[in-house]
Amino acid sequence: MTITAPKWLTGLSLALAAALPVQADQAEDIQKIITSLAPVQQESTAPAQEAARGVQIGGRTVWVVPQHSIDLQVFFALDSYELTWRAREDLAALGHALASSALRPHRYLIAGHTDTTGDDAYNLWLSERRAESVARFLVENFPIDPQRLVAVGFGETRLKTPGNPTDAINRRVEVTLLLPARPEANAPAAAPTAPPPVESVEPVAPPEQPLPGTLQKDKDGNITITW
């Protein structure tokens, strides 16, 4: 698993569900993910207000905190959004981290990215299906509320290595902290002098019939699983 994360802090308790055993070689990866994605705590133990960026998805704006983000290289079969066995193994650490007490109160954007191989419209569609596959795997295999995860595809619009657009590192899943941290919270707290940039993401047209075993989002962003 490839993780892009700042130097991780010590002292955060994993507090993982007892029903989900953690392999010894996963502990360090889980702790790194927790530290990268957890909001900075103030002395009052409340999350500190950090710089957020608005991203418009399907007619609504969600607020992401880029400082708390990781990139995961998730392996899919060619032209497929089905997770490989290796992808499932790599995503286990993320599932444990999101189920931990440190991250459980918070919501996250699950963003799919592709390289530039193939048609851009197809890449956009495929990246969203892959993000949904990751979110579905997490909620089906770990005690994670589906409302905590918002899946979106960016296709080839946010390359990790623009100088090498077909590199495998561009085919990744990005996990980013969303504000508000809790559904009832207001975010961001204070309006800046100039409004923060809002990035538009064109909604991806679904197939004519819902694909079996995929996540579906309604206009309010609610996620349901179709079988």
Q: pLDDT (tens digit, 9 = 90+) per residue, 142-165? A: 999 999 999 999 888 888 888 888
Q: Which residue has the higher pLDDT, 224 or 155?
A: 155
Supply the pLDDT for residue 114. 86
Average pLDDT over residues 173-194: 59
pLDDT tens digits, 210-220: 444 455 566 66
List Cβ neighbours of 78 (8 Å cut-off, separation of 6 or more): none
Contact present, 82 and 101 (Cβ < 8 Å): no
Average pLDDT for 76-95:
87
What's the average model confidence in pLDDT over 66-75? Answer: 86
Q: Which amino acid is at 158?
A: R
Mean pLDDT computed over 62-69: 85
Beta partners for residue 63, in sequence order: 54, 179
Contact 99, 148 (CB under 8 A): no
Q: Are 62 and 106 in contact (CB under 8 A)?
A: no
**pLDDT at residue 219 in the model:** 62
In the chain, % of residues over pLDDT 90: 29
pTM summary value: 0.66
Q: What distances in angstroms separate CA 19 from CA 22, 29, 135, 143, one per listed residue?
A: 10, 19, 20, 10
State the Cα–Cα distance between residues 120 and 125, nearest whole angstrom.
9
Beta bridge partners of 107: 178
Its CATH class, for the domain covering 51-186+207-216, is alpha beta
Q: Measure the N-to-C terminal CA separation of the chain; round to a whole number of Å.
A: 29
Number of other CB atoms surrounding residue 45 within 10 Å? 6
At 138, which amino acid appears? L
Query: What number of residues does the chain have?
Result: 227
Three-state secondary structure call for residue 154: strand
Per-residue confidence (pLDDT) for residue 115, from 0 to 100: 84
Q: What is the largest CA-CA distance in the chain?
A: 51
Give the separation between CA 177 and CA 16, rounded to whole angstroms: 19
The model's confidence at residue 48, banded by pLDDT at 50, 70 and 90, is low
The mean pLDDT of the chain is 73
Q: Which of 14, 32, 13, 33 is nearest to 175 (CA)?
A: 33
Angle, helices 27-37 vs 85-99, to 10°: value is: 60
Instruction: Say yes or no to pLDDT of 67 above 60.
Output: yes
d(CA 170, CA 164): 9
- Domain spans in the chain, listed from the N-terminal domain onward: 51-186+207-216
